[in-house]
Structure 1
Amino acid sequence: MRLDHLRTFEAVVRLGTFTRAAQELYLAQPSLSRQIATLEADVGALLLERGRHGAAPTEAGRVLLPIARRMLADAAAARRELDELAGLRRGRVHLGAPPTLCVSLVADVLAHFSTRHPGVDLQVSEAGTHALLERLQQGELDLAVVITREDALEAEGAELIELLTEELVVVSSATRAEPLPEQIGLAQLATMPQVAFHRSYDLRSATDAAFAARSLTPTITVEGAEMDAVLRFVERGIGVAVVPAMVVADRPGLQHARLTDPELRRTVNLARRRGVRLSAAAETMQELVFETVAGTDLPGVLRREGGDPLRPSSPR
């Protein structure tokens, strides 16, 4: 089996049509069809079912797909290793993170990395924790920064390294006529006009669960927004929002208050594939994440007792 044929097969399954796959891979559609036919001849089985609405994997195709993705990821890792022998003058790192961390911790890490290693290509994927762990296990990501809470997290095949714990805080416009108090209880928050995240956000799920546990109904002015839009809406005085403490840093347009009764917290972890050696560029990225976390000194960002913010932990 040739890697280019496996890459073509993976693209057709992921995109759902031969046409889209051909466009992504810059192939003429007849050439793409020949590659699929050759691959099917090599494995001795039909891999794709063609229909009016596109292409879908057969049972044999579903068996081959994760194997193909691992082979492609291993080949990409081999290329990166060879590129990086020149001292990180070339290479690539693919990092995954939730949107709430892309505007804070991850932004700082990427800024430092690109300054120190301008020849290394950086790729970032934004998604929720479960989607990121799935992509990490499939070899699509080198590293991921993920969120855990008190509930169990299925992370088979991944190792989680706990970085820090941060509080969720209430933010409002810095020009709000009445300044926020130092603390706001959940019952008081429920009466305040809120800008709410899209329901796909883990942050939204956590706050909704907290309100439900207290039989409270929040007053929502705008809902369904993404992180950048939420912050902009709050800065313009449309309402308050519940955000992670690190988001507040370097945002003079916001003021914030601690959320109490109950306090809501989340743990930030670095995830990597268990038993898989990191490329030189990914290992450098990992060390820079540790370095950035060690230098973080913000209200609401909590250290564990003992002072060391970094230790490997079992998936929860």
Structure 2
Amino acid sequence: MDLQQMRYVLAVAETSSFTRAAERCHIVQSALSHQVARLEKELGARLFERTSRRVRLTTAGEAFLPAARQALEAAERARAEVAAATGEIRGRLTVGSIPTVAAVDLPAVLRDYRTRHPQVRIRLRAGSSERLVEQVRDGTLDAAFLGVQPGFRLQGVRDKALAQGRHVAVVAPDHPLAAEQEVDLGLLAEEVFVDFADGSAARAQSDQAFAAAGLRREVAFEVSGVELMVRMVRHGLGIALLPAAFTGELHGLRCVPITDGPMRTEHLVWGRSTPSPAASAFLALLGVEVPLS
């Protein structure tokens, strides 16, 4: 058994195709199939069920995959550690972020990082705050940028608070509230809202503010992304509450301050275990110093 065979198995599992796996691994399909068959013979079990229509993992394959991933990650980490010992940062950096991050200019940070460490492969993933915390905790992400209500418990990760600010009401330019200099939650409670999914950290910020004020509101539209939310507001389907620091990115909409509006704290989070050299360099760029070992 060798690492290359594990890479082939992982590629087949992720693409559900020997043909696409071979293309990804830059090898002819017959050679890839031969290596997977050799590994199956050594293990004494089939890893894949093959039919003319599909390829899928067997029970043995599902059991093999997590350990194979760990072995490949360990090998990559070992190479990165050796490179770091000679003064070169290399390997892989996977960062997560909410779409509305505003405390840092993330594209600029990633540009600076790539300039300093061109040998690192960077991946960026977007998601909800609660999902990003899970991915940092299980090691899928090296670090993530979140936006949560004050007092939100960040369990199983390390964190650094970056900024705190209020939400504003985002309305279409021809909306009656567009002419107001500021509003309060009592006035907003009469409106129809476009918001994030019920139960999400992004939604909780607004829900808790209205509940604390003893008010009820109507959320007629639930969306998973801020882009769709903004488009719906622009078409007059409702209003939205978004962090004031983020709304500078919006055009063609009116952002009205809220006297008693929801608060949001942005955090940088990373795992409790020792970060890789690539992750340590990223954290250091953001003012977080962590030991390499």
TM-score by length of structure 1 reads: 0.69
Return the offset for 1:95: 1.2
**Counterpart of 2:266?**
268
Pair 1:288 & 2:285 matched: yes
**Counterpart of 1:8?**
8
| Contact kept in structure 2, 1:73 and 1:139, CA below 8 Å | no
Q: Note the 1:104-253 alignment, pairs <5 A.
A: 105-114=105-114, 120-137=120-137, 139-149=139-149, 150=151, 152=153, 155=156, 158-173=157-172, 178-185=178-185, 187-197=186-196, 202-204=201-203, 206-207=205-206, 216-218=216-218, 220=220, 223-224=222-223, 226-231=225-230, 234=233, 239-249=238-248, 251=250, 253=252
CA gap of 1:132–1:285, structure 2 versus 1, over 3 A, is same
Give, in whole Å, the separation in 2 of the partners of 1:86 and 1:174: 57
Return the offset for 1:55: 0.2
TM-score by length of structure 2 reads: 0.73
| Contact kept in structure 1, 2:147 and 2:266, CA below 8 Å | yes
**Counterpart of 1:97?**
97
Q: Note the 1:274-313 alignment, pairs <5 A.
A: 274-279=272-277, 281-290=278-287
Return the offset for 1:5: 1.7
Where 2:77 maps in the other structure, the secondary structure is helix
| Contact kept in structure 2, 1:160 and 1:271, CA below 8 Å | yes
Give, in whole Å, the separation in 2 of the partners of 1:10 and 1:241: 42
Task: Name the aligned partner's letter for residue 283 of structure 2.
Answer: Q
| Contact kept in structure 2, 1:100 and 1:227, CA below 8 Å | yes
Where 2:286 maps in the other structure, the secondary structure is helix
Give, in whole Å, the separation in 2 of the partners of 1:152 and 1:228: 27
Q: Deviations over 1:267-291 (max 9, x none)?
A: 3332323222331x42232123348
CA gap of 1:120–1:16, structure 2 versus 1, over 3 A, is closer
Give, in whole Å, the separation in 2 of the partners of 1:124 and 1:188: 39
**Structure 1: 5+ residue runs without aligned partners?**
292-309, 311-316
Q: Deviations over 1:24-43 (max 9, x none)?
A: 33444333332322233333
| Contact kept in structure 1, 2:142 and 2:275, CA below 8 Å | no
Give, in whole Å, the separation in 1 of the partners of 2:285 and 2:98: 18
Give, in whole Å, the separation in 1 of the partners of 2:172 and 2:88: 43
Task: Name the aligned partner's letter for residue 244 of structure 1.
Answer: P
Please tell me whether Structure 1 or Structure 2 has the larger radius of gyration of its CA atoms.
2
Give, in whole Å, the separation in 1 of the partners of 2:133 and 2:5: 26
CA gap of 1:175–1:107, structure 2 versus 1, over 3 A, is farther
Return the offset for 1:18: 3.6
CA gap of 1:194–1:148, structure 2 versus 1, over 3 A, is closer
Alpha carbon RMSD of aligned pairs, Å? 4.0
Return the offset for 1:124: 0.8
Give, in whole Å, the separation in 2 of the partners of 1:36 and 1:226: 40
| Contact kept in structure 2, 1:146 and 1:270, CA below 8 Å | yes
**Structure 2: 5+ residue runs without aligned partners?**
none
Q: Note the 1:31-70 alignment, pairs <5 A.
A: 31-50=31-50, 53-58=54-59, 60-70=60-70
Task: Name the aligned partner's letter for residue 57 of structure 2.
Answer: A
CA gap of 1:82–1:205, structure 2 versus 1, over 3 A, is same
